[in-house]
Structure 1
């Protein structure tokens, strides 16, 4: 009696990533490590060089921790940076948009990518809170689009939140799930709704922690220790806010406030810190000082 071979999901042969910031670079690194040829879109020579440097630094760290199955230089050789969406390879199996949380910017770039790539290409947004349904409305082929919400730091995180819009096709979802598993990550599938599952719950905890600091209930470290030691969270909500970026948290909170009501109103302390440029780890100061 013969036994059918069980196929292991593989990453797309060619992947495009729009945006080379921390998240985009992490997404690019993860797919390159899984064997994909990755093209990152980042405008401007300085920004392009910085994007490639982020990927290279991530590769080196992964290699030091034994997380790469081949030399970092070989993996990095599969990553290139171009200056325009128009330069994405038509053969991309997947294009992931990973630019800031600006709905009009995301919609414009996704529509531009759709005009360049094959009709069979899956388009995905890495948005953490914006409506995937609204973004799909900018596309000619909304059935080939969905949300793939990665988590920071992407190479080390275990999760991708798959966000399904009403018009997302079954084959598109199947491919996204296969690619998630090819990256060695687990999936959660949610229907499109404000904040999805992860941001809605995570921001709720983070905003309440900020209000506690604002009200003088406890110092940030004490609040974080209460959650990490008492509830076994891997990181406290304020330290996580610093890692994500206070500006990112504020943008998500404002969106949820507008769509879900007063319980997501951003605390004044959060607004003040963002106004002062205290954005967390990326600026060296947030709720903690970062060397």
Structure 2
């Protein structure tokens, strides 16, 4: 049975640790949370409902998956920037952190130090930034049958798939490969590898912090096991792009009408 372990500690106890150690502890936790959530959303976008998936839903899945991949690449790139500051949080990190974490730090730095690292390129060209020159170069690769847009009654059900096709074409050019499928395979492999490295770093720092500053006076016996028996199975989670907003619109309209009546 799956379970998690809840472990709470007071701010007073937390503040007994040196400030620089605390400043490192929280951002590394946030880095892992973001990476975990983005990678989970990326994988969940691929889950097909039992009844299958229509073409519009498949296009929505592609857009959702690629967005999360771009954001994940960007977040991992920012994690690399955080690792460059590791010596400020913990000058003796090479001696204090577990050997797996030390090796992971070196592996992350080696990867992102390369200007042509795929995740770094994705972050700089298609993640947090929009490279117009790359977009211009990619337009010629779009086929006639790929220019498809979905315009819904609500802005939340509008999807410009033509823009996603541009992104996919740009990937092949960016990585100098024959197809966007090949480029996505490169990105997926690198993202998976870097996720593993960042996990070692974040987990290693957290373990060191807890063992050094918290557990000597506040043991794990104060924790609590929580069962995940009622949690849904991973492959049961479906997150379609196109959903029905009629009920939400009715609620918004009703609130607007009530607010207007209150003013009269």
Is the pair's TM-score, using the shorter chain for normalization, greater than 0.5? Answer: no
The structure whose residues are more often helix, as a share, is: 2
Which structure carries more strand by proportion? 1
Higher relative contact order (CA 8 A, sep 6+): 2
TM range (shorter): under 0.3
Q: Which of structures 1 and 2 has the bigger CA Rg?
A: 2
TM-score, normalization by structure 1: 0.25
